[in-house]
Amino acid sequence: MAQEESELIAVMAIKETYVSRMLNGSKKVEFRRIAPKRAISHVVVYESQGCGQIVGYFEVAGVTNAKPDKLWKLFAESAGIERSEFFHYFDGTDKGTGISIGSFFQLDEPMEITSINPSYRPPQSFYYLQRGEFERIRRRKAESPSSQYVA
């Protein structure tokens, strides 16, 4: 997705299991019950239920808003999640979002979310960063997209 000034950077809390699947390439879509209100160019990954820190970010290759059954039909092969987990997550809602993962950049070392801004806390779902805050994260990335996660 082209980087435009109108596009935002989202910070999302993602479970350690799914972060590992993103890094090994078996999970190519991040699912959300609530869609971002504006276009996002990147997602900063806060690893929850793991190190509890920012571990990297990915380029957003596309965003699909649809009913859960359609999302599953479109992304089952690249979901990185079992069918039962997927439908359990979307239980009680008639729409969802699939955020397609482009290149994933793992940080050289995980970083505390408060190192971006002392008032930041782990996101419940997601929130947006300012471009300058994102640049501080980008400076800490590995030189090339990750293909393997090292805890």
- pLDDT for res 62: 96
Query: pLDDT (tens digit, 9 = 90+) per residue, 37-82?
Result: 889 999 999 998 878 899 999 999 999 999 999 999 999 999 999 9
CA angle 94, 99, 102 (to 5 degrees): 165
The rounded percent of the chain whose pLDDT value lies above 90 is 66
15-28: average pLDDT: 94
What topology does CATH give the domain 8-138?
2.30.130
127-150: average pLDDT: 70
- pLDDT for res 98: 97
In the chain, where the domains are located? 8-138
Neighbours of 70 (CB within 10 A): 14
